Structure 1
Amino acid sequence: MHNLVGFFYKGVKWASSLPSGERLHPKPNSYFFSSKFRENDLLSFINWYLLDLFPPNVFINTFLLYLTIIPVLSNMAHVKNGNIQKIDPEDPFLLVPDKMKSQMDLETALQDSAKALDLFLNNRFSDALDLLRPWRSQSMYHAVGYSSMLAMQAGMTFEPKDVEKAMTALKESLQTCQMFRKKTTMVEAITDMFYKQPADDLTEEEMHAELCYAEALLQKATLTFLDESMISFIKGGIKIRNSFLIYKECDDMSTMAKNQSDQMSTQAHFRSGVNMGIGSFNLYLSLLPSKVLRLLEWMGFSGDREVGLSQLREGAASNSLRSILSTLCLLMYHLYISVILGKVQI
């Protein structure tokens, strides 16, 4: 209360010190609606409006001024929508998400990703990126979706600028996913090198973080091959193997979660992601020559075509985020790859 009285007294003193002909400068013109307009100018404008149109009673005018300005500034700085909370410093009328106030929950992130994928498949690429961009540093699905679209663009254009932009986005996506992954101690890391313990104590969010990390790592490995150097091929191969191993762990986690009585609410989305990853690896590695495939199997990969097709069909039949992606993988194999390689079964 004391602060409010002091603030009010300063306003009265400031308003009474203004000359009658030079009270405040901003007039109601286009400057009021420009991007250069600030809260101080709004205060000046309203004070000019009140002192010019109402009788010259400084106390009443100042009281009316604060009754008018406080709700306006409050609405400008705080909007009821939980995702929009602060004003862009470059433009006070352009509201941006307040990433420091709240975090994106998993189910909302999946819904936003589904909307962005729908926009992307309807050729509204800019709208899809704009939907994912604000939360890409706080939500793993926003980060993976955003970087995946840039990676697809880089893969189609092969422009160095697009490739660099996609690699940067994928690196940030991996960092975002790492934030949500389970933190392991040094002892656990050393133990896992000799004996892989079942990851049955992961939370729902940590399981999805593992899946998103594997997807982003696989895409980054694919773009690494564009460098066409021996070092890049080695790095890309290591990333692909790590991605496949994470997918296998996610497959085990999905099997354990499926057998539990209290399944997580996002089980269908997680399972479809595992179907797409395991199915794509098995299907497309099965297209390699048998000698190369045996070498890859010795390194820990698997290339069973029937397993790949069944996994992708299961993912395509589910009503989930990645079902359309599994369908696209099947269409690419049946309509393009199998025809080119002469593996059509009649």
Structure 2
Amino acid sequence: MTTAGDPGALPAGTPVSSLHEALDQCMTALDLFLTNQFSEALSYLKPRTKESMYHSLTYATILEMQAMMTFDPQDILLAGNMMKEAQSLCQRELDSLVQSSQYCKGENHRHFEGGVKLGVGAFNLTLSMLPARILRLLEFVGFSGNKDYGLLQLEEGASGHSFRAVLCVMLLLCYHTFLTFVLGTGNVDIEEAEKLLKPYLNRYPKGAIFLFFAGRIEAIKGNIDAAIRRFEECCEAQQHWKQFHHMCYWELMWCFTYKGQWKMAYFYADLLSKENSWSKATYIYMKAAYLTMFGKEDYKPFGDDEVELFRAVPSLKLKIAGKSLPTEKFAIRKSRRYLSPNPISLPIPALEMMYIWNGYAVIGKQPALTDGILEIITKAEEMLEKGPENEYSMDDECLVKLLKGLCLKYLGRVQEAEENFRSISANEKKIKYDHYLIPNALLELALLFMEQGRNEEAIKLLESAKQNYKNYSMESRTHFRIQAATLQAKSSLENGNRSLVSSVSL
């Protein structure tokens, strides 16, 4: 029997049994994935990824999920290539349907439609988040991305009843809890994320991936203890995919950082340094950073010494496809000052790295946590003022002012926050090494202005941050955040102008 009138995503003439078989196999693989049997799910799908849109997109989506959450360069390369192949396969299925005069929507059309929305949505959303300079190059060779369109496609795919729905949900959860948080302004549509997660967490209460997202949501809301419980549950839920454990260790490390519990944060950094190969340089740097936060009387585990650890960081540099990881490059640059026989200590390296990962947007939800971090920053500031001047003095003072300004902002002390951010630009010419502080201070000042409705001033600051500073640490990440802030400020400005015009018309 043939299915010329109901081909789903397979060519006209494909047996119905083959179509149902493809759907059943993908459902089986998806269930394996959601019950923590990650390797088995990928192995089950792989043999048919070259011939079946369903297998190809499911396989590519699982890889993309893994890449989004582990930030492993090899995962990212593999997922990108697989998604490209899946898109090509979808486009060839789509072309045959358009050309077929016999095609009509059958019972499996919803699965086909869900697959298209998943592929198109993921593709548009990913491209739309790239900084303008990268996007211009892609547009030159025929690629473009529309964030709103991508989100709409994924949201429509998530609301359906196809087996693609859960994949669309997971990509949306990655977008809301990771991408917009780490690479955006920290403003997350948390209600949407919770709404997407709830039915799947109910259905798979021990599903590691959903427990992980539950932990991310709690952390973003500032519920740190609840987040810790979720990440611990996630680790207990499965033992097959250790990378999931490592993702949880990374999150737990930051949760204990927010609480100022340096020994526990050190414990997770140490676990990562021993078990995970993503970035040994970053993990060793974090171990050293936490040791600097220990009190004088505190016992240092394993006899570790922060100076020796910092000195080891440059030798651990990893290169993927000839390029270093931005976080590693940052850690290596910061560690270099320990290479001298009489090193000058970094003031608060753990709290500086917390800024790189947008952690102040987390503690900002809890005044008590913000107060605790502000107290540590203020003590560091006092130590710098009392200490002898050296070649790093201005860099360290400006770093402290950036972090202090963030805490003050979240505590509602807006004028003081603005003063701290402005003082960094005022000392721009005196900064010797940490040039990233200047565009980031402009970015944070712009975000402060946006909260006050001063969007035109904010846009000017953002333009200055984008155009006037180059070749500094974590530049790409700063550009992602500048772009997100610019779009938000322009949108607010346009909405305000429309409201004004409407009121005048009335």
**What band does the TM-score fall into relative to the shorter chain?**
0.3 to 0.5
**TM-score when normalising by structure 2:** 0.29
Larger Rg: 1
More helix by share: 2
